[in-house]
Amino acid sequence: MQYARTLSSYKSSNQILCCYANVTNQIQMIRLTNTAKFNFEKITFPGQRLMFESIINAQMKIYTLTTSTPILLDKITCKWLRVDEKISLESSIL
């Protein structure tokens, strides 16, 4: 699993840990928008999971990559991608 630290210099009570999984058979590009303090853009391969930090009101745009141009597939608010860190930590200990 890949982990990208996006807010190393930006700390806020709105900062959350998020997880996105590319469950398609296509390469995707994800981009966070509605963020004034940082930029985030990553390529994800089929079956890949990506963990990243974001602000709660950021919006993730998911594009499929074609030979000519990226095509917007979906928009998701990062609050729906939030990882419950307490539950994740407890399950990794078990």
- For residue range 36-77, list pLDDT tens digits in order: 777 889 999 999 999 999 888 899 999 998 778 889 999 999
Mean local confidence (pLDDT), 5-30: 78
- Nearest Cα to 41, choosing from 52, 50, 31? 31
Decide which of 85 and 20 is more confident. 20
Token representation of residue 35: 């963020």
Q: Where are the domains of the chain?
A: 2-93
Q: Which CATH number fits domain 2-93: 3.40.50, 1.10.3470, 2.60.40, 1.10.3210?
A: 2.60.40
State residue 11's pLDDT score: 53
Q: Span 79-93, mean pLDDT? A: 71
Mean pLDDT of the residues in the chain: 81
